[in-house]
Amino acid sequence: MAFLHRRSARDSYTDRKNPFSHALYFKLFPLHQRWSLPANPEYRPSPLEAVAYRYASFVLKSDFTREPPKGVNPAQDPNWVLNINAVFPNYTIDMLENGYFTYNFWPIAVDRTLWEVRAYFPHPRNAAERFSQEHARVTYRDLIMEDASTMENTQAVIASGAKTHFNFQDEELLLRHDNKVLAEYIGLTNGRVRVRRGGGGNHVRRPAA
């Protein structure tokens, strides 16, 4: 947030107490993941953002007095802004105050992925709300285009073969978890747990025989 999204999000997710946008909460499920992020309650929106916020924009939060919807702020933090739910293997739901986004990641080659993003909002009641939602949509688009640029660069580095290992730091535990789950799922490890596809398309973990 403080570096990659410095121009797009400015300091809406960071402040002096949390300059690197540390997460509020992580939860690992056997296959899936959930985490949440705080926003900066002192953020001063631009004049255009201030207009959009008045009618339900949400990506860059400005009103911290409203109660978040039930169940989306597991850490019960007053600065909560965003919950990210990753459903193994390729689906993510980003929940915010007035809507949500979903991602589908489709592998199309060994080194290419199609990333589909959809935005869901309540039906706008008037033109002002519609404007506000469009503002949220393009704000989010800019943020994830910035995210994607780092992934493309990372992929280029991996493809070059110059680095043999990538070390994940503590707060990248979801990536570590994802790698572990995937390795188990496709049978790369000989650990005590094997993952098999169960009936009805469910992915279930069973102890190895």
Beta carbon of residue 137, minimum distance to Fe ion (angstroms, whole number): 16
> CB nearest Fe ion: which residue?
147
Beta carbon of residue 204, minimum distance to Fe ion (angstroms, whole number): 32
Beta carbon of residue 24, minimum distance to Fe ion (angstroms, whole number): 16
Question: Of 148 and 204, which has the nearer Cβ to Fe ion?
Answer: 148
Give me the half-sphere count of Cα atoms (radius 13 Å) on the Cβ side of residue 4.
14
Question: Of 105 and 208, which has the nearer Cβ to Fe ion?
Answer: 105
| Cβ-based burial of 80 (10 A; exposed 0-12, middle 13-18, buried ≥19) | buried
Beta carbon of residue 116, minimum distance to Fe ion (angstroms, whole number): 17
Structural contact between residues 15 and 61, judged by C-beta atoms closer than 8 angstroms: no
Beta carbon of residue 191, minimum distance to Fe ion (angstroms, whole number): 31
Structural contact between residues 36 and 82, judged by C-beta atoms closer than 8 angstroms: yes
Q: Where are the beta strands (DSSP E) in the chain?
A: 25-28, 33-38, 80-87, 91-96, 99-109, 112-120, 193-197, 203-207
Question: Of 63 and 147, which has the nearer Cβ to Fe ion?
Answer: 147
Q: Residues 57, 61, 62, 66: what is their CA dihedral angle, to the nearest 10 degrees?
A: 90
Question: Of 147 and 152, which has the nearer Cβ to Fe ion?
Answer: 147
List interacting residues with Fe ion (CB under 5 A).
Answer: 147
Question: Of 31 and 143, which has the nearer Cβ to Fe ion?
Answer: 143
